[in-house]
Amino acid sequence: MTLLLRAALSTALFSASCASDPPIVEGPRPALFKPAVVAAPPPDRAPPGQLYRDEVVRLVDAGFGEFLQKLEVEPEVRDGRFIGWTVVALYPRDFWGQVDLAPGDVVTSVNGSPIERETQVYEAFQALKSAPELRVAYTRAGTARSLSYRIVTRPAAPGSVAQR
């Protein structure tokens, strides 16, 4: 159960700095074909406060094992009651990008749902594929905080290559 919880928590906390598809590079065209508009590749990174849906789906589809390598957490229990998951380590740090999360923070819920039981974690993990946003509630030094990211469709390249 701990393995599943750790993986789902790391999924819920990932940032928009996930790897994206490399741009397509075309070879030279014969002089007969000249592009009317040269298309720019779609943005690599989502704007601050947003995640691209295709990246979220790809990460969820990759499964729990992929994320276990990026996060270490321990259960936080006080007076015999589960509080949340204490972040022990985040690695590699560049994967987490601009996420305001640090060792010692205690994650208490994902998208308003508790994450104590295996079934709760699995549901939160799978729900990210269609969720309109990712909200993570946590405490830092006893103060309640939250992270919020809208999950949006990646914009198409602003133009297309037309041949004459």
Which residues, including other chains, have CB under 8 Å from residue 121's CB and lie 6 or more apart? Answer: 4, 5, 7, 8, 9, 115
Residue 29 lies in a domain: no
**pLDDT at site 128:** 93
CATH number at residue 145: 2.30.42.10
Indicate whether this model's pTM tops 0.85.
no
Residue 116 lies in a domain: yes
For the stretch 114-157, pLDDT in tens is: 999 888 888 888 899 999 999 999 999 999 999 999 999 999 87
For the stretch 66-100, pLDDT in tens is: 876 788 999 999 999 999 999 999 988 888 888 89
C-alpha 11/C-alpha 127 separation (Å) is: 11
User: By residue range, what is the domain housing residue 9?
Assistant: 2-18+43-152
